[in-house]
Amino acid sequence: MQKALEHAASLYQGDLLPNCYDQWILPEREAFHQQCLRVLQQLVSLLEGQRAYGAAIQYAQKTAPP
């Protein structure tokens, strides 16, 4: 499970079509962003359970807004 979450987290490279401001893209962009946050939160919880605090911190920092 951890490898799958790490792989999913690595796939997210930022907002979907960041230079597109059409109304149709906004819900899709937000849905992908929320999905990424859920993956990161699951990964952080898993790593904390394994006491891999350094890795957990790295993933937790990705959930913070820029």
pTM, two decimal places: 0.85
pLDDT recorded at residue 64? 79
All residues at 6 or more sequence positions from 59 whose CB lies less than 8 Å from its CB, including other chains:
9, 40, 43, 44, 47
Residue 66 within any structural domain of the chain: no
Residue 37 within any structural domain of the chain: yes
Q: What are the tens digits of pLDDT across the range 35-59?
A: 999 999 999 999 999 999 999 999 9
Report how many domains make up the chain.
Answer: 1
Identify the domain containing residue 36 by its residue range: 2-61
Residue 30 within any structural domain of the chain: yes
pLDDT recorded at residue 66? 62
Token pair, residue 42, equals: 């699951």
